[in-house]
Structure 1
């Protein structure tokens, strides 16, 4: 996801420096960009070159590690710079990181996105933004490189909160889609025809369309969203629900089913592999 964002930012004409904790990954992204970009050796070096720092990381631990330390993002942040964090993390993690960013003279906005890698590549994702109006406004030119719309939801943490709510729905749809498809198949309907019906039915959300190839041809599906990360997001959503007193029985059920698939050795597979798991 971060690599696709970088390509779009470069294509929009912004001067870009990229960093990944695995340098080879950053170099691979640089080769995909339509213009020359700089590959930084540390997060500190990357941040020092930027007015806007766009962050895309896997989880809370990766965020804390990347922001902190002598070679971390905060150590290199220029006064007045804006950090737009698109990672899916707990709202309290975002708020904790903001204190360090503010101490360096910067601004932080939590700006997670709804959509797939292909949505980023097409510039059609939705950004769910939390933070001050100034932070969101100043991050907007970079975010608009790959986003169709930015919705400012409120104070810092609002974006992270809404991303967990949206992902809870996405994972529910993924589970329902897998079950419906397997039910139709086991009843004698060809997989492709069953999916054709689903894709033209009342439940044909964008997710149903962009996951079609993965569900129809699981043997060749790239891993766009690993089940291990699905479990992480469901755990975050459950923890948030506990904090605010919101009942989420479907989230809890989906987490158990995802856990079963992970226990069966599918943690590194795409979330669409739940259909394969159900096929047995």
Structure 2
């Protein structure tokens, strides 16, 4: 595996961090991103197009916002499908619709290439440390082949099943993430308005049945004014919840719990937090609850953002 050529398309918030883990381990990387400076920041060699990355790489990684962008990067005269060679493994680290994933798998298979859908979890902090969790769909042989590459930026890798299974599990996980973040944000705003000590409230929650990832890992920082910049934005969180609802519609499963995160992250987007980390959903809820901020000594009266 060490002599295989590596390529990366999409060197943004998460992709850039993952790429730096790869180049930081001494591996050469051919990169493409519309933002040229992102390629240098990742320590990669610049390619002129996604097609060039595919044509010159044995393993191609994608980290893109959604299925629409993934399909645009895969298709067209300068897309991955135009340059990919037989024997190449394409690893999609995006959060994408499983049905789109299965279509792209078929397109690559027709060209003799493999496609792994590899949802990621752990956020920017885990990406910085090379400690992401990966949930992978696709052929076991392809996963085994690229395991040494995945080890450069992940701590846990789960083979979830055939093509589409990785992105399906990612949507299930992200929905629970969205629910717990939105619900905990609401609770913490209420705790502030009740004049409770927020550190004590978190200690109680984290020792009780309400404990969750947000209460353990996010809010101890947020109440100090550290929003853990660099993670999933409110717009992307809302996109993931929407993809989850589309998945459930395809499966014929009723969603009784989606209204909360749809309303919460939709509110954050409407109030001007669209491109800020999803942890700022607590400020959006605070805005419509009297201008509350968790990390100030006094309640503010700022009101909603314009």
Question: TM-score over 0.5 for the alignment?
Answer: yes
Aligned length: 274
Contact 2:227-2:280 at 8 Å conserved across structures:
no
* Unaligned 5+ runs, structure 1: 31-36
Listed one character per residue, the Cα deviations across residues 185-212 of structure 1 (whole Å, up to 9, x for unaligned) are: 1111244454455455554444444424
Runs of 4+ in 1 over 6 A off after TM superposition: none
Structure 2 match to 1:28: 41
Aligned position for 1:34? none
Shift in Å at residue 57 of structure 1? 0.4
Give yes or no for the alignment of 1:256 onto 2:263: yes
Partners of 2:141 and 2:191 lie apart in 1 by 51
Whose radius of gyration is greater, 1 or 2?
2
TM-score with structure 1 length normalisation? 0.90
Q: Report the aligned-residue RMSD.
A: 2.0
* Alignment partner of 2:186 out of 162, 179, 182: 179
Partner of 1:84: helix, strand, or coil? strand
Task: Give, in angstroms, the shift of residue 72 of structure 1.
Answer: 1.1
2:95 is aligned with 1:82: no
CA distance in 2, matches of 1:198, 1:47: 48
Q: 1:199 to 1:49 in 2, by over 3 A?
A: farther
Give the structure-2-normalised TM-score. Answer: 0.83
Equivalent residues of 2:171, 2:243 under 8 A apart: yes
CA pair 117-110 structure 1, distance change in 2 beyond 3 A: same
C-alpha change, 1:203 and 1:77, in structure 2 (3 Å) is farther
1:104–1:21 Cα change, 3 Å: farther
Gap regions ≥5 residues in structure 2? 1-13, 288-306
Is 2:70 the counterpart of 1:63? Answer: yes
1:270 alignment counterpart: 277
